[in-house]
Structure 1
Amino acid sequence: MPTRYFRRRWDDSRGDEFDGWGHSVWYFEVDDSGWPVRQVEAYDAGPLLGYGPDHEEDQYGGLGQVSLDDPEEDWMACMIGRDEFERAWHSAGE
């Protein structure tokens, strides 16, 4: 399966010292096995975080360590095009 792109809204709290950032929208680029290659987290209060091969983690979080090809999750409804992902990626300064 080729590279795929997803966007998913999370209305859950971070539950950490950055909880004030609010809810978030996450963007993923995944490889043919569903593993995140690049990821953007866009928080309601403004912070944008980007993770990828050259920046896998920092004090705020990191690149997802779970395949999105999980049979218990329906990610197909969250698919987006490459252009939408790239806009989010470049907005995050990556």
Structure 2
Amino acid sequence: MPSRFFRRRWNESRGDEFDGWGHSVWYFEVGEDGWPVRQIEAYDDGPVLRYGPGHGEDQYGGLGQASLDDADEDWNSYTIARDAFERVWDSAGE
């Protein structure tokens, strides 16, 4: 199975010193095993964070440490096309 791509809005705060960034939209590329390969976190009032090969973590967070193939949560309704993910990924790297 090739990579899959997701976009999901979180209307919850971070609960840390960066809480002022507001809510966020998260984008994921996951591999065949369901684990994140690349991830973008776009905060309403803050930065856009980008994690992936060569940059797995920083002082703000890191690449997800859980499979999105969790039986307790269905991610199918959050599926997006590869090109939609790539546009955000490319713009986050600027």
Task: Report the TM-score, using the length of structure 1 for normalisation.
Answer: 0.96
Task: State the number of aligned residues.
Answer: 94
| Kept in 1: contact 2:22–2:46 (CA 8 A) | no
Structure 1's unaligned 5+ residue stretches are none
The aligned runs of 1:2-21 (5 Å cut-off) are: 2-21=2-21
Amino acid at match of 1:34: G
Amino acid at match of 1:51: Y
Q: Can you list the C-alpha shifts for 1:14-37, whole angstroms capped at 9, x where unaligned?
A: 001100000000000000010000
- Measured in 2, the distance between the counterparts of 1:66 and 1:92 equals 23
RMSD value, Cα: 1.0
How much has 1:92 moved relative to structure 2? 1.2
The equivalent of 1:67 in structure 2 is 67
Task: Report the TM-score, using the length of structure 2 for normalisation.
Answer: 0.96
| Kept in 1: contact 2:57–2:63 (CA 8 A) | yes
Q: Can you list the C-alpha shifts for 1:34-90, whole angstroms capped at 9, x where unaligned?
A: 000000000001410000011000000000010000011110000000011001111
The equivalent of 1:42 in structure 2 is 42
Would you say 1:51 and 2:51 are equivalent positions?
Answer: yes
- Measured in 1, the distance between the counterparts of 2:40 and 2:70 equals 20
Would you say 1:92 and 2:57 are equivalent positions?
Answer: no
Structure 2's unaligned 5+ residue stretches are none
The equivalent of 2:26 in structure 1 is 26
Task: Give the fraction of aligned pairs with identical amino acids, expressed as a percent.
Answer: 74
